[in-house]
Homo-oligomer: A and B are copies of this chain.
């Protein structure tokens, strides 16, 4: 079994490698290719990756290359974890929307649109080259904004599944609080990528007992702290919104918070430099503790689980992924991409049925899906007017003059990444 990781030079990669090593029974990789245009980083990350495999006795071979076509040749699955424009572009996404009173965030709001516009053409090009190299290969997209990127891939006919670590992170968190194993916890997770609610937390599987009320009663404060949402929101709703719902439910508070605190950019950049220095140490043969602060927890578990199911039968039968709606949420088009528990096997992902959704969630999901339609349109076809329309359609923008101001800024800050600008 051969896997390729595009964006393999990311400082996150050792997290993934560690998972591949630990979970080699689930996903028996014989060859792992790390592909990245940044050869220097790739050297550092690849070296550590090999030492991690060696230390844990993983027999697989690790190859590094900056040649995409060579790297994906013969791969059974390709993981996409790239960041067009790097941390500098992320820093921009987090900054200029604030000038217009909007949240600065790399997946939500105007910053998320910028990331989509930069990313979709690059990912589609990669996918096309993957298809040419191996039409049967699965593409697992971990690249944000996962919902829009996955939809772009599916619409172009690729064998793709979108993956995010929000659901698995909550599953692990809840399992710990409930003192059960993660595998016992099934989430009634529903929505769009980064716009999800846990409507139920079940023990033993999709039809197990819903212990969400008990979880909230006994651990509500812990959960609320984790999500940085007020406890009262959880109690009022009786469900658990994802961390990203803060950008909606507490929009003005978040904007104020972002405006009155220093940007995380310098801090993250410093952490990356520190990590890369560590990775260069030939004595280091495990992922350093500092990596945990970079986010992305349980990404490797999720990726291994998903790849195992897509490529064989080693993974969990039901996993939370991004896939075509196909009637699951009847108020969305079939070709909308939603994030829900799905049955995964070698033929792909089939969402489980979802009971009728409370309008409190359905309304926002429908609105954001409409934005995603227009965002994808803008990403595929370009043009100032399409950017404006996507922003006007976004529930966090919605006003014509702010949409205008944001459009100008988005284009000015991303010109080098937008072929049409």
Chain A residues close to B by CB (< 8 Å): 95, 98-101, 104, 230, 232-233, 236, 248-253, 256, 258-263, 266, 331-333, 359-360, 362-364, 366-371, 373-374, 385, 388-389, 392-393, 395, 398-402, 404-405, 408-409, 412
Residue of B nearest to A232 (CB): B400
Please state if A399 and B99 are interface contacts (CB–CB under 8 Å): no
The answer to whether A367 touches B395, judged by C-beta atoms less than 8 angstroms apart, is: yes
CB distance B249 to A398 under 8 Å? yes
10 nearest interchain CB pairs? A363-B370, A366-B366, A359-B370, A260-B405, A260-B401, A98-B99, A262-B408, A367-B367, A359-B373, A363-B367
Which residues on B sit within 8 Å (CB–CB) of A368? 363
B331 touches A360 (CB 8 A): no
Selected contact of A388 from candidates B95, B236, B332, B362, CB within 8 Å: B236
Q: Which of B252, B332, B393, B395 contacts A331 (CB 8 A)?
A: B332
Partner of A260, one of B249, B331, B395, B402: B402
C-alpha gap A99/B99 in the complex (Å): 4
Min distance, Cβ A263 to any Cβ of chain B, angstroms = 7
B233 and A400 form a contact (CB under 8 A): yes
What's the least CB distance linking A417 to chain B, in Å?
17
Residue pairs across A and B with Cβ atoms less than 8 A apart, 7 shown, are A98-B99, A249-B392, A250-B400, A360-B374, A363-B367, A364-B370, A364-B398
Known: A250-B399, A259-B100. A331 touches B366 (CB 8 A): yes
Closest-by-CB residue of B relative to A333 is B331
- What 8 new A-B contacts, CB under 8 Å, besides A260-B402, A363-B367, A363-B370? A99-B99, A100-B260, A232-B400, A249-B400, A253-B256, A256-B401, A259-B405, A331-B333
B101 touching A259 by the CB < 8 A rule? yes
CB distance from A414 to the nearest CB of B (A): 14
Tell which of A104, A236, A371 has the most Cβ of chain B within 10 Å.
A236
Q: Which of A232, A261, A388, A401 has the most CB of B within 10 A?
A: A401
